[in-house]
Amino acid sequence: MKEQLKQIKQKALNDQIPIMSDDSIDYIIANLQKYQCKSILEVGTAVGFSALSFACSITDLKIITIERDRSRYEEAVRNIEMLEFKHRINAVFTDALEFACTEMVDALIIDAAKAQNKTFFDRFFPFVKPRGIVIVDNLDFHGHNENVGLLTDRRNLRQMVNKIRAFEDYINIRKDLEVERVSIGDGMMMIRRIGHSFNFIE
């Protein structure tokens, strides 16, 4: 199975499809295990590499993963079937802004259109269980977040970076949330509610 994951990863890299770095996946898996997460909603499937990595590492994990690009979704479905994870990974072809979540999850992972981080968070955070976690990937956006002042001639990119920074500001000023920002992969943030014990009964 590890060899198949390597093949999926290499094909994605060859096809220039953005996937999570190994460090990012390791960080997420460590926290899924730490907080005993059994269910995930992932926004941004790509070709299924991250979801499959999580499922391979945590044997009883159930995942709903959303992808709006048809070719990537279809490849993800093939990869999920190849590794025989259809019973644990439900890939959904839709725009996340149109996805109607109907169940509570232990973890929300946001790794999709960066300008929509706040929209995705506000839409799906109510479906994260009180003791659950949210992980947002690619906050550094290839180093542009730190150097937004240098993007004077790249208006669209500057606007996207400003939206990423505005999302971070929005999260950081909320008094009900505890935030951990880490320089792993392309920058990640883990968010938890303040005031909930992690006794896994809630």
Q: Name the pTM for this structure.
A: 0.88
Name residues of the chain where pLDDT drops below 70. 141-156, 196-202
User: Which pLDDT value is given to residue 154?
Assistant: 58
Going from the C-alpha of 191 to that of each of 109, 116, 135, 168, the distances in angstroms are 10, 17, 6, 11
| Domain segments of the chain as ranges | 2-193
CA distance 67 to 96: 7
**Topology of domain 2-193, CATH:** Rossmann fold (3.40.50)
13: part of which helix (H) or strand (E)? helix 2-14
User: Which pLDDT value is given to residue 161?
Assistant: 82
- What DSSP letter does each residue of 121-163 carry, written as one string? HHHHGGGEEEEEEEEE--SSTTTTGGGGGG-TT-HHHHHHHHH
Strands 39-43 and 62-67: parallel
End-to-end CA distance of the chain: 34
At 41, give phi and psi (nearest 5°): -110, 120
